[in-house]
A = this chain, B = another copy of it.
Amino acid sequence: MNYCTKCGAQVELRIPDGDNHLRHVCQRCGEIHYMNPKLVIGCIAEWNGEILLCRRAIEPRYGYWTLPAGFMENGESTTEAALRETLEEACAIVEIDDLFSLINVPHINQVHLFYRGQLKTPDFGAGEESLETLLFPEEGIPWKDLAFRTVSLCLRDYFSDRRRGRFSFHERSLTPTSSI
């Protein structure tokens, strides 16, 4: 960040009075520009026990498989974000169940939330950001070709819970040495 969004003057990095974090502060109007983690929200969508995965048509991780997920938008709720991302990336309409997983990725200032969901019909397709979308049984999951570590951890927890016959909520934090 170089310039103030309010007045266009240059910002400097300093700790404002009464604060204990470095912030971008406008040298002219004094506006303090806070930066906060972003929520990435996705869905583990099932149809007859199989899981819907999308192959990414965008960077990062072009060509790798992922759960439908993306940045939460202003004005929506977390479940609305999960519904929207599943519709946009997998052209699928799901019924959202409970929140299943929260994974902190502090080194890139993100918090990933994954909901469980059920496809309403076996209709799906490749959205603009996907090369293809497919249903995978547990034994067919392309583990080595998954795009992100949060997706792989979430799916492992999911299948482990499903085998046990009971879904619980999982929380994790990734360390900087891990990939996303």
Using CB atoms and an 8 Å cutoff, list the residues of chain A in contact with chain B: 1-11, 18, 21, 33-39, 71-80, 98-99, 102, 104, 106-107, 109, 111, 128, 169, 171, 173
Name the one of B8, B77, B104 contacting A77, with C-beta atoms under 8 angstroms. Answer: B104
* Chain B residue contacts of A128, Cβ below 8 A: 18
Name the one of B5, B9, B104, B173 contacting A1, with C-beta atoms under 8 angstroms. Answer: B5
Check B2 against A3 for contact (C-beta < 8 Å): no
29 A-B pairs (CB sep. < 8 Å)? A1-B5, A1-B6, A2-B7, A3-B3, A3-B4, A3-B6, A3-B7, A3-B8, A4-B5, A5-B5, A5-B33, A8-B10, A35-B74, A36-B38, A36-B72, A37-B39, A37-B73, A37-B74, A37-B76, A39-B111, A75-B106, A77-B104, A78-B102, A78-B171, A79-B171, A79-B173, A98-B169, A98-B171, A99-B102
Name the one of B5, B71, B76, B104 contacting A78, with C-beta atoms under 8 angstroms. Answer: B104
The number of times this chain is found in the oligomer is 2
* Chain B residue contacts of A38, Cβ below 8 A: 36
